[in-house]
Structure 1
Amino acid sequence: MAPNSLTERNDERNVQTREETRSNERYIRPAVNIVETEEGLFLTADLPGVAKGDIDVNVEKGILTITAPAKSTLMGTPVYSEFQLGNYYRQFTIPESLDHEKAKADFVNGILTLRIPKAEIAKPRRIEVQIG
């Protein structure tokens, strides 16, 4: 990956990481895909069992945080289960060169889709050379 990539790791950027959580509550790390394009970042996160209104996506000081509580919709008393629902929590360091004000998020069928475009200043431009 290029050293000036939008998705470079914290240790490559020499950025101090911050503590994710002090809570004793258990969190589930949702599966996430992040794709970098010329327009910006495209993120998809798998959040089954979450209601659209309960998702919180926040960007503060270059840290993108996704939190969402999952609730069971099963009727009755569970007799046997091999998985648990819990609160989803995930954080990523993202560059300040993204335009957070123009970010868009959609949530359909348990999949969160987040698009964060690059700021105009960060997009590559061709400079016309004048002759004469």
Structure 2
Amino acid sequence: MSESKELKVREKQPLDSAAEQTKPGPVFTPNVDIFETEKAITLLADMPGVKADNLNVDLRDDTLTLTGEVGPAAGTPGEKIYVEYETGRYYRQFSLSEVIAQEKIDAKLSDGVLRLTLPKVEKATPRRIAVQAG
């Protein structure tokens, strides 16, 4: 798989100590798929259990940061016998190049999948420039 020069995936970096975290609990790295066309890059991030109001997509200094929080399942009657569903936070960062039109980035969350559309800057249209005699 080749990596796009317009979008650099930052290496996974686990948090080394609890002192680095501001909230207790695990931090998950969402799995992503990245697709590229001539006009845009599409990034799909798997964030099951995250609701739109608990999701942040932040763009600062050419760094795109995804954070989301998943809470405990609500409304489950009865006593817990066995639980595998983990609560915690999602965190992932990407470096953007100047080829991405940052002001036009679009984000949608549906069925636990975040879809980011990162449009590319339109290239200058080739044209003939008339020279005027002066």
Structure of higher RCO (CA pairs closer than 8 Å, 6+ residues apart): 2
Deviation at 1:7, TM superposition (A): 3.1
* Residue number among 104, 107, 110 corresponding to 1:108 in the alignment: 110
Q: TM-score w.r.t. structure 2 length?
A: 0.73
Deviation at 1:9, TM superposition (A): 6.1
What amino acid does structure 2 have at the position aligned with 1:7? L
- The superposition leaves residues 2-59 of structure 1 with CA deviations (integer Å, 9 ceiling, x where unpaired) of 8x8213567xxxxxx9x88632643100111111221121011111111111110011
Q: Is the 8 A contact 1:20 1:91 kept in 2?
A: no
| CA-based RMSD | 2.8
Considering fraction of residues, name the structure with more strand: 2
Q: Is the 8 A contact 2:107 2:114 kept in 1?
A: yes
1:43-58 maps to which residues of 2 (within 5 A)? Answer: 43-58=43-58
State the aligned residue count.
119
Task: Name 2:91's counterpart in structure 1.
Answer: 89
Q: Is the 8 A contact 2:40 2:120 kept in 1?
A: yes
Deviation at 1:97, TM superposition (A): 2.1
Task: Name 1:64's counterpart in structure 2.
Answer: 64
Mind listing any 5+ residue stretches in structure 2 that lack a counterpart?
Answer: 130-134
Query: Which stretch of structure 1 is more off in the superposition, 80-89 or 44-53?
Result: 80-89
Deviation at 1:82, TM superposition (A): 3.0
Task: Name 1:40's counterpart in structure 2.
Answer: 40
Q: Is the 8 A contact 1:42 1:113 kept in 2?
A: yes
Q: Matches of 1:56 and 1:109 in 2, distance apart? A: 16
* Residue number among 102, 118, 121 corresponding to 1:119 in the alignment: 121
Q: Is the 8 A contact 2:9 2:94 kept in 1?
A: no
Q: Is the 8 A contact 2:9 2:93 kept in 1?
A: no
